[in-house]
């Protein structure tokens, strides 16, 4: 059988954030409600000239620079904060990165889950055509109403992954367990900028979906819990991952070891929720921040998207994987950010795209090379500032 999986992966996060202590002061509550209660410290904030396209291009550029674009004939863009009801955001990224013209390109949506079917589709494709590679990108901006219970769990980030045969990072096991149920725990109608969410209900359904997907994974011949060295979870907030890990250990009738999951939460605490990118950000965080060499070890991966679809699957870390990480870059992206106060946060949050098609020139604020320069006649114009 041809081995397929993640050959390389990289993330990008905007250069501004608000500390949750500022929101705590605004809400008149103890900051520990956020730092300990939900396990979050900061919210990544995109600028007016940044969106899912610019973040996606920034996340993917290091992969193209290091490994080239040869053999990439498919781009799968996973998001739940799409910018167009018709055109895939990946088409803009395709141009910005200078990818080959003979390339398929499509956008996938199912809340925070869609990057996982993108990877499964990509693995199936490269197993059939092992000389080809697929660029999978998950990019999202999590935004909730001001002063709402969801506000502290906002965030923004993009993760880019090259899927190939004989991967250098993580081999994806073909066995997986899935679960779907029709519920209304989180949703965003076309006419709303922010979602509607029942937080407590969503957390309960998340845990139920985890167990149902795990049982299906076991029924399909998946690894035993004891064979898995590290676990990565979808992280709407870090404390949810801790709850999930305890819940799964209980279902597996074993003692919980939180060290198996905590490395995956390090970046999330500093970035916030990134929807479709969240679980894969946890995967990068685990690879970047685990003290032990994970080469040859199995990792359990749980993906959840409200509404709801869930999947549990596993990957085996390839020996020598550390030579293909972007750890220093990732840490610099997080450490070299600018903090904004509450008023600065409001200005970023309240930016609204012109709905009447009038021209809007956007301020040059992004720290990366790609930016949304203007919107005119309902068309978004992205530029490469290095071109």
| 351-369 pLDDT tens trace | 777 888 889 999 999 999 9
Per the annotation, the verdict on 234 as an active-site residue is yes
pLDDT reported for residue 354: 80
Residue 29: which residues within 8 A CB-CB, separation 6 or more?
A: none
Q: Is the pLDDT of residue 177 over 80?
A: yes
Q: Which range has the worst mean pLDDT, 83-97, 173-187, 323-337, 338-352?
A: 338-352
Read off the pTM.
Answer: 0.98
pLDDT reported for residue 175: 98
| 59-68 pLDDT tens trace | 999 999 999 9
- Residue in 50, 123, 171, 234 annotated catalytic: 234
How far apart, in whole angstroms, are the C-alpha atoms of residue 246 and residue 241? Answer: 9
- Residue in 41, 107, 112, 330 annotated catalytic: 112
CATH code, domain with 160: 3.40.47.10
User: Is residue 73 annotated as involved in ligand binding?
Assistant: no
User: Is residue 173 annotated as involved in ligand binding?
Assistant: no
**DSSP β-ladder status, 170-180 and 309-317:** antiparallel
| 239-298 pLDDT tens trace | 999 999 999 999 999 999 999 999 999 999 999 999 999 999 999 999 999 999 999 999
> Which of 106, 160, 105, 152 has the alpha carbon at shortest distance from 136?
160
Average pLDDT over every residue of 184-211 = 96
pLDDT reported for residue 351: 79
How far apart, in whole angstroms, are the C-alpha atoms of residue 146 and residue 164? Answer: 42
SS (HEC) of the chain: CCCEEEEEEEEECCCEEEEHHHHHHHHCCCCHHHHCCCCCCEEEECCCCCCHHHHHHHHHHHHHHHHCCCCEEEEEEECCCCCCCCCCHHHHHHHHHCCCCCCEEEEECECECCHHHHHHHHHHHHHHCCCCEEEEEEEEEECCCCCCCCHHHCEEEEEEEEEEECCCCEEEEEEEEEEECCCCCEECCCCCCCCEECHHHHHHHHHHHHHHHHHHHHHCCCCCHHHEEEEEECCCCHHHHHHHHHHHHHHCCCCCCHHHCHHHHHHHHHHECCHHHHHHHHHHHHHHHCCCCCCCCEEEEEEEECCCEEEEEEEEECCCHHHHCCHHHHHHHHHCCEECCHHHHHHHHCCCCCCCCCCEECCCCCCCCEEEEEEECCEEEEEECCC
Q: What is the mean pLDDT of the chain?
A: 97
How far apart, in whole angstroms, are the C-alpha atoms of residue 276 and residue 247? Answer: 22
User: Is residue 3 annotated as involved in ligand binding?
Assistant: no
Q: How far is CA 342 from the centre of its chain?
A: 25
pLDDT reported for residue 1: 82
How far apart, in whole angstroms, are the C-alpha atoms of residue 326 and residue 9? Answer: 8
- Residue in 41, 80, 151, 311 annotated catalytic: 80
pLDDT reported for residue 136: 99
- Residue 46 belongs to domain spanning: 4-384
Average pLDDT over every residue of 223-227 = 98
Domain count of the fold of the chain: 1
Token pair listed for 355? 């709905």
77-89 in b/e form (b: 16+ CB < 10 A) is bbbbbbbeeeebb
Q: Is the pLDDT of residue 224 over 90?
A: yes
pLDDT band (50, 70, 90) for residue 202: very high
User: Is residue 70 annotated as involved in ligand binding?
Assistant: no
| 101-137 pLDDT tens trace | 999 999 999 999 999 999 999 999 999 999 999 999 9
């Amino acid at each position: 059988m041809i081995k397929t999986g993640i050959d390389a992966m990289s993330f990008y996060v905007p250069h501004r954030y608000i500390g949750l202590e500022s929101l705590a002061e605004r809400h008149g509550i103890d900051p520990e409600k956020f730092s300990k209660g939900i396990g979050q410290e900061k919210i990544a904030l995109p600028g007016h000239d940044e969106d899912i396209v610019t973040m996606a291009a920034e996340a993917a550029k290091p992969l193209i620079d290091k490994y080239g674009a040869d053999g990439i004939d498919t781009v799968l863009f996973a998001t739940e904060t799409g910018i167009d009801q018709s055109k895939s955001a990946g088409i803009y990224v395709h141009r910005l990165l200078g990818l080959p013209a003979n390339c398929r390109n499509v956008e996938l949506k199912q809340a925070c889950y869609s990057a996982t079917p993108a990877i499964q589709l990509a693995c199936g494709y490269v197993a059939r055509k092992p000389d080809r590679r697929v660029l999978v990108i998950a990019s999202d901006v999590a935004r909730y109403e001001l002063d709402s219970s969801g506000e502290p769990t906002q965030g923004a980030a993009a993760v880019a992954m090259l899927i190939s045969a004989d991967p250098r990072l993580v081999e994806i096991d073909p066995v997986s367990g899935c679960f779907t149920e029709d519920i209304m725990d989180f949703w965003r109608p076309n006419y709303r900028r922010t979602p509607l969410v029942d937080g407590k209900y969503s957390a309960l359904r998340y845990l139920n979906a985890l167990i149902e997907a795990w049982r299906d994974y076991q029924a399909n011949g998946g690894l035993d819990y004891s064979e898995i060295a590290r676990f990565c979870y979808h992280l709407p907030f870090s404390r949810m991952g801790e709850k999930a890990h305890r819940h799964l250990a209980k279902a597996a009738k074993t003692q919980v070891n939180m060290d198996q999951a905590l490395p995956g939460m390090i970046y999330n605490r500093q970035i916030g929720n990134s929807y479709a990118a969240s679980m894969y950000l946890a995967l990068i965080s685990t690879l970047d921040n685990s003290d032990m060499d994970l080469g040859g070890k199995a990792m359990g991966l749980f993906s959840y998207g409200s509404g709801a679809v869930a999947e549990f699957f596993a990957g085996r870390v390839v020996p020598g994987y550390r030579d293909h990480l972007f750890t220093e870059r990732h840490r610099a992206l997080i450490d070299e950010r600018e903090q904004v106060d509450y008023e600065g946060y409001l200005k970023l949050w309240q930016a609204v795209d012109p709905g009447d098609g009038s021209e809007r020139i956007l301020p040059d604020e992004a720290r990366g090379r790609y930016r949304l320069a203007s919107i005119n006649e309902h068309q978004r114009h992205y530029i490469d500032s290095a071109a």
